[in-house]
């Protein structure tokens, strides 16, 4: 995969019919659904069947399992994800026919035209912050359009075509997609080195955020000043004076400030002060990081002119997104959670929240590394973060779009956990994880599966293997 430069956009109603390759993904399915809601003829294919694929079919999208050139018949535009390889038969056929080919980011960016765009970027926290903004604005009656990288737990959907002025999107930095979106408000939750397979160096990665936040349409940049990388970004932007920087965090100089934090248990709270107003921020989701995400959402809503009391009430109603500290179930005194964390910083924050939610019980982490390059680059950091758990099970790497790298496997992470003073076990076959975890757990334990791949399948199977009464979900 390489970095993507922005392309010229067109009115989304003028580019159809549109065919989506890999339409079943969380991000792609949300974009396809909005095109269908606009009345554009939509079709799509994916390698495997899924709930997303079936849901799209019920909404009127023509869908197929498997890729075949014939699926493009009638299409004028083809939208692809970053996971699609150049030799995909549908992509090859689209090029042969001379069809318009857009990356997912261009397909989404076209939908934002004519709206007040809000892009949420950052190494961590993009999905939850985007979701919080969407929920808070919706609660206040602003009816935003939005596309989130994971479905809302409350609705099971990741996108909505609203009647309001705001269009809120999760802006992915991994391949430069965040440069494509026409936004007036940009949020940067944090900046830490990642995706070096595309960006090359941490400095180049940082400069990508500078370029994104300095876009020609950007009026406001909402930045976390507690994170060193995003704080440095704020300083760079303030020096240029081209955009207005709004800061949030626990630091004394934050424009939207968090104080009097209560972090115990599975819910959190803080006093939030923004401008001349102050109120108590109560969340139903755990973790200090979620208070920070909520402060960003509050700042965005305030810039959009939404009543601040309504914003606090909307944030209090937020119940999370799927795969973000999501409860899988409880049985026999064991609680099982699932989380998308796949970067050392994310894992450290998630395990901190797990430790508080465990209320004195053991925390058992089950980690599936994501990408060979990330595992190679951050194995030591993964080990240090995972060592915060009482016991760690590591399986092999979820390759996604990458080919194997000799000598790089989940064993690197397992060794790093032991080197950091943790207790770890390597279970290379993901299919063996449920039974291995069942051997490990005892009443009072909190188990959390971690990773951006298919480790999410492990928790429900484990739940069925545990002895005890009826499970709670």
Burial-class residue 451 by CB neighbours within 10 Å (0-12, 13-18, 19+).
buried
Binned at pLDDT 50, 70 and 90, residue 472 comes out as: low
Binned at pLDDT 50, 70 and 90, residue 115 comes out as: very high
pTM score = 0.84
Active site residue 310: no
Residues 95 and 149 in one domain: no
pLDDT surpassing 60 at residue 473: no
Size of the chain in residues: 473
User: Is 443 within a domain?
Assistant: yes
122 is in an annotated binding site: yes
Q: What is the CATH number of the domain that holds 81?
A: 3.40.50.720
Give yes or no for a contact between 76 and 14, defined as CB atoms under 8 angstroms apart: no
User: Is 405 within a domain?
Assistant: yes
pLDDT surpassing 60 at residue 91: yes
Domain enclosing residue 344, as ranges? 326-465
The predicted pLDDT at position 5 comes to: 87
288-303 vs 126-139: helix axis angle to the nearest 10? 50
Task: Name the 3-class secondary structure at 260.
Answer: strand
Which residue is associated with the tokens 């004394």? 252
458-465 vs 433-440: helix axis angle to the nearest 10? 50
Residues 174 and 87 in one domain: no
19 is in an annotated binding site: no
The predicted pLDDT at position 265 comes to: 74
Residues 312 and 457 in one domain: no
The predicted pLDDT at position 51 comes to: 86
Task: Name the 3-class secondary structure at 405.
Answer: coil
Contacts of 98 by beta carbon, 8 Å cutoff, 6+ apart: none
Residues 228 and 369 in one domain: no
User: Is 6 within a domain?
Assistant: no
User: Is 182 within a domain?
Assistant: yes
Contacts of 408 by beta carbon, 8 Å cutoff, 6+ apart: 372, 375, 376, 397
User: 39: how many CB neighbours lie within 10 A of its CB?
Assistant: 9
User: Is 108 within a domain?
Assistant: no
User: Is 79 within a domain?
Assistant: yes
Binned at pLDDT 50, 70 and 90, residue 195 comes out as: confident
pLDDT surpassing 60 at residue 470: no
Residue finishing a domain among 47, 79, 103: 103
- φ, ψ for residue 465, nearest 5 deg: -90, -15
125 is in an annotated binding site: yes
Residues 362 and 256 in one domain: no
Taking residues 119-132, report their average pLDDT: 95
Residues 367 and 423 in one domain: yes
Taking residues 71-99, report their average pLDDT: 95
Residues 459 and 403 in one domain: yes
User: Is 472 within a domain?
Assistant: no
Half-sphere exposure of 235 (CA within 13 A, CB side): 9
Give yes or no for a contact between 120 and 133, defined as CB atoms under 8 angstroms apart: yes
Binned at pLDDT 50, 70 and 90, residue 181 comes out as: very high
The predicted pLDDT at position 25 comes to: 86
| Tokens at 427, concatenated | 């279970």
Contacts of 238 by beta carbon, 8 Å cutoff, 6+ apart: 245
Percent of the chain's residues with pLDDT above 70? 99
Burial-class residue 60 by CB neighbours within 10 Å (0-12, 13-18, 19+).
exposed
Q: Shortest CA distance to 193 belongs to which of 381, 417, 407?
A: 381
Binned at pLDDT 50, 70 and 90, residue 447 comes out as: very high
384 is in an annotated binding site: no
Binned at pLDDT 50, 70 and 90, residue 228 comes out as: very high
Q: Which of these is catalytic: 77, 127, 321, 350? A: 127
Q: What is the CATH number of the domain that holds 302?
A: 3.40.1190.10
126 is in an annotated binding site: yes
Better-scored residue on pLDDT, 79 or 82: 79
**CA dist., res. 454 & res. 451, Å (int):** 8
Burial-class residue 472 by CB neighbours within 10 Å (0-12, 13-18, 19+).
exposed
Which residue is associated with the tokens 């090359």? 200
Q: What is the CATH number of the domain that holds 412?
A: 3.90.190.20
Residue finishing a domain among 103, 122, 140: 103
Average pLDDT, the chain: 93
What's the domain count of the chain?
A: 3
Residues 139 and 267 in one domain: yes
Q: Which of these is catalytic: 126, 129, 247, 375? A: 126
**CA dist., res. 45 & res. 19, Å (int):** 8
Taking residues 438-463, report their average pLDDT: 95
Residues 304 and 180 in one domain: yes
Residues 183 and 289 in one domain: yes
Taking residues 28-54, report their average pLDDT: 94
Q: Which of these is catalytic: 36, 90, 93, 170? A: 170
Contacts of 87 by beta carbon, 8 Å cutoff, 6+ apart: none
123 is in an annotated binding site: yes
- φ, ψ for residue 277, nearest 5 deg: -105, 155
Give yes or no for a contact between 383 and 420, defined as CB atoms under 8 angstroms apart: yes
User: Is 453 within a domain?
Assistant: yes
Residues 336 and 197 in one domain: no
The predicted pLDDT at position 401 comes to: 75
Please give the full DSSP string across 324-374, using - where no structure is assigned: SSEEEEEETTEEEEEE---SHHHHHHHHHHHHHHHTTS-EEEEE--B-HHH
Burial-class residue 377 by CB neighbours within 10 Å (0-12, 13-18, 19+).
middle
Active site residue 126: yes
The predicted pLDDT at position 468 comes to: 75
List of E strands, 180-304:
185-188, 220-224, 244-249, 256-262, 268-274, 277-283
Give yes or no for a contact between 76 and 16, defined as CB atoms under 8 angstroms apart: yes
247 is in an annotated binding site: no
Residue finishing a domain among 103, 138, 165: 103
Taking residues 235-256, report their average pLDDT: 94
**CA dist., res. 338 & res. 256, Å (int):** 30
Residues 295 and 218 in one domain: yes
Average the pLDDT over each of 87-96, 230-239, 396-405, 420-429 and give the range with the smallest value. 396-405
């Amino acid at each position: 995969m390489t970095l993507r430069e922005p392309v010229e956009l067109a009115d989304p109603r003028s580019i159809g019919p549109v065919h989506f390759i890999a339409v079943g993904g969380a991000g792609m399915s949300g974009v396809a659904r909005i095109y269908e809601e606009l009345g554009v003829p939509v079709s799509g294919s994916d390698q495997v069947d899924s709930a997303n694929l079936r849901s799209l079919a019920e909404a009127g999208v023509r869908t197929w399992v498997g890729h075949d050139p014939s699926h493009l018949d009638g299409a004028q535009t083809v939208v692809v994800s970053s996971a699609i390889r150049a030799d995909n038969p549908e992509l090859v056929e689209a090029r042969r026919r001379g069809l318009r080919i857009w990356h997912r980011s261009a397909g989404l960016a076209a939908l934002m035209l004519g709206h007040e765009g809000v892009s949420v970027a950052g190494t961590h926290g993009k999905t939850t912050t985007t979701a919080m903004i969407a929920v808070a604005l919706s609660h206040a009656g602003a009816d935003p359009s939005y596309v989130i990288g994971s479905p809302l737990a409350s609705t099971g959907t990741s996108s909505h075509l609203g009647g309001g002025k705001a269009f809120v999107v999760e802006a992915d930095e991994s391949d430069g997609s965040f440069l494509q979106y026409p936004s007036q408000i940009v949020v940067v939750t944090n900046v830490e080195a990642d995706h070096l397979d595309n960006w090359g160096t941490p400095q180049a990665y940082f400069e990508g955020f500078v370029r994104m936040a300095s876009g020609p349409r950007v009026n406001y940049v909402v930045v976390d000043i507690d994170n060193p990388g995003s704080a440095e970004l704020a300083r760079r932007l303030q020096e240029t004076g081209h955009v207005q920087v709004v800061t949030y965090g626990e630091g004394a100089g934050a424009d939207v400030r968090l104080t009097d934090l209560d972090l115990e248990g599975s819910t959190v709270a803080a006093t939030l002060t923004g401008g001349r107003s102050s109120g108590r921020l109560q969340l139903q989701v755990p973790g200090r990081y979620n208070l920070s995400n909520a402060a960003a959402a509050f700042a965005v809503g305030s810039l959009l002119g939404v009543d601040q009391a309504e914003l606090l009430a909307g944030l209090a109603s937020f119940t999370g997104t799927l795969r973000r500290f999501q409860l899988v179930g409880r049985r026999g005194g064991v609680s099982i959670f699932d989380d998308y964390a796949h970067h050392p910083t994310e894992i450290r924050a998630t395990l901190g929240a797990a430790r508080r939610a465990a209320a004195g019980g053991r925390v058992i982490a089950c980690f599936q590394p994501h990408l060979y390059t990330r595992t190679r680059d951050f194995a030591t950091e993964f080990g240090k973060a995972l060592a915060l758990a009482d016991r760690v099970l590591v399986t092999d790497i979820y390759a996604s779009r990458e080919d194997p790298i000799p000598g790089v496997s989940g064993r690197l992470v397992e060794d790093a956990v032991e080197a950091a003073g943790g207790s770890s076990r390597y279970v290379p076959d993901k299919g063996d994880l449920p039974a291995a975890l069942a051997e490990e757990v005892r009443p009072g334990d909190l188990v959390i599966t971690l990773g951006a791949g298919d480790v999410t399948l492990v928790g429900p199977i484990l739940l069925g293997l545990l002895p005890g009464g009826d499970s709670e979900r």
